[in-house]
Amino acid sequence: MTTRQITVAHLYPDVMSSYGDRGNVAAIVRRCRWRDVGVTVTELRPGDKVVPADLDLIVIGGGGEPQQRQIAADLYKVKGGAIRDAVAAGTAALAVGEGYELFGRFCQPDKGAELRGIELFDSWTIRGRVADVGAAHQDRATARPRTDPAVRDLVVRWDGGLLVGFENSSGRTYLGPDAVPLGRVISGRGNNGDGSEGVCLGGAIGTNMRGPCLPANPALADFLISVALCRRYGTADLSPLADDLELAARATAMQRTVLTARRRALTWPLRKQASPPASGAGAVPPRLGNHARAGMHR
């Protein structure tokens, strides 16, 4: 068997890596090596150019808002066009969190000017108080109103299976008419609470699942690897791996989700009294994942 080889580009590994995003790259590298597929990881920092012909897989992680602002201009000016060309030519891509937001059309931060995205996905993001009026609550540490980030487990139905991740996003991403969501939300918020999560464009995937999503979802990792192999060799036959630990981690995450949903359902009347909606919009913003909770108790 000839040794196969793919090249992975990790964009801004120093900056966009707030949620252990190097874990995504580690997952791809390990899963390829376990199958005797060689992997070369090129780390692309600000100023480095993307060469579409060389790349089989592009990975960008999530960062904070300052980190996103720091790289946005470089991503748009230096790398944007090349990434679009590469994906059009069949390269796989994984964009997580803030990276996903910048792979869309634009991102409007809480304060300051909007950041231009590279327009790979037909999506846009609005962040902060503009996004969810009324969901503001008092931050205990800073005693200032702070928008409610969705910090919770996220379970998504994808391709006949389930994806499990962790979301922490104060932004809301909206998909345009051309965009295909990655999956349907079972629990969590997803893109903006409308039940869709992420975006999928050929072999390119954008997602809100942080806290590296590939080790927890071996199927998604294998999907990206097979897209990358198909681009290079036209075919991808991946031998199955023993994913017992990964499946155990997923199972505990699902269990946690179910417990959280039950608890939230039980304490719903109490919480409704305890936290009246802030003044402003008048209507209670849709608490996220209500439909999922309702589904679980049916």
Interface ranges with another protein (CB under 8 A)? 14-15, 17-23, 26-27, 30-31, 33-35, 63-66, 140-142, 149, 151-153, 166, 168, 210-212, 215-216, 239-246, 248-249, 251-252, 256, 259-260, 266-267, 269-270
CB 159 within 8 A of CB 217: no
Of 175 and 209, CB closest to another protein:
209
State how far the Cα of 172 lies from the Cα of 193, in Å rounded to an integer: 8
Of 56 and 153, CB closest to another protein:
153
Helix (H, G, I), strand (E, B) or coil at 126: strand
Quick one: tokens of 236? 């991808």
Q: Whole-number minimum distance, CB 118 to another protein, in Å?
A: 22
Q: Whole-number minimum distance, CB 247 to another protein, in Å?
A: 9
Of 139 and 178, CB closest to another protein:
139
Give the strands of the sheet with 115-116, arranged side by side. 115-116, 106-108, 123-127, 171-175
State how far the Cα of 103 lies from the Cα of 205, in Å rounded to an integer: 10
Q: Whole-number minimum distance, CB 64 to another protein, in Å?
A: 4
Of 235 and 239, CB closest to another protein:
239
**Rg of the chain over CA atoms, in angstroms?**
19
Of 37 and 227, CB closest to another protein:
37
Q: Whole-number minimum distance, CB 134 to another protein, in Å?
A: 20
* Angle, CA of 125, 97 and 90, to the nearest 5°: 95
Q: Whole-number minimum distance, CB 53 to another protein, in Å?
A: 29
Task: Find where tokens 């946690």 sit.
Answer: 256
